[in-house]
Amino acid sequence: MKFPGTRLLARIVLGLLAVVAVAIAVTGCSAVKDASKSDTAKSQVGDCINVIKGSAVDSKTEPVDCSSEKAVYKIVQTYDNKTECSADYTSYEETLNGGTTAFLCLAPNFKQGSCYIDNTLTGYQFSDCAATEATFRVMQRIDGEVDELLCGADSEKFITVADPKTTFCLGSPKG
C-alpha cells in the first residue's frame, strides 16, 4: 500500500539530512584546523598579546586585555600564510610540522610610564622598570600623531607607528 506524498516527504528529509551533514563537515574541518593553533594565533585584529618569553624560534605569548600594561603588542593584521609586514610592525609566525598555521603583524601597544625590553632578535617584552634587563621606559604615548618632535626633552629616542598613528617617546628605564 502506498501513501500519496511519501516520496516527496522522503526527498525532503534526505535533502535536510544532506544539508546538515555538509554543515557539520565544514564546521568540523574549521574546528580541526583551529585546534592546532595557540590562543595567540586564534586572536583577531584589535586583540592584544603579552610576550612571556621572547625567542627567535620558541616564543611564549598569551592574549591579554589591551588596557593591561603587559599588552605589549596589538594585532593589526592576520594571515594564514607568511606575509611581509610593514616596517612599523613586528612579525609573529606560528608553525606546525613545517607549515605556517598563523601569521600576525603586530604594532607596539606600550603604556606610558611602563618599561620594556627591546631585543632585536625576539622583539619587545614587558619588564619591571627596576629590572636590569629593562632597556627603555615610555615617557609619553601620543595617540593620533606620528611626530617625534612632540617628544619632550626627557626623551632619548622615539618609535612611531603609521597605522594606528602613534608616537612613543622613550627614555631611560631608571628615569
Q: What is the pTM of this model?
A: 0.72
Residue 95 domain flag: yes
Residue 25 domain flag: no
Count of domains forming the chain = 1
Radius of gyration of the chain (CA): 24
Domain of 144 in residue numbering reads as 48-171
The tens place of each residue's pLDDT in the chain, 175 residues long, gives 454 544 544 445 444 444 445 445 444 444 444 555 677 778 899 999 988 776 656 667 889 999 998 999 999 999 888 889 988 898 888 776 666 678 889 999 999 999 999 988 778 999 999 999 999 999 999 999 999 999 989 899 999 999 889 999 999 998 6
pLDDT at 13: 46
Distance CA 90, CA 48 (A): 13
Residue 28 domain flag: no
Are residues 64 and 70 in contact, defined by beta-carbon separation less than 8 angstroms? yes
Q: State how far Cα 123 lies from the chain centre.
A: 13
Residue 22 domain flag: no
Residue 41 domain flag: no
Residue 23 domain flag: no
pLDDT at 61: 83
Residue 163 domain flag: yes
pLDDT at 26: 47
Residue 165 domain flag: yes
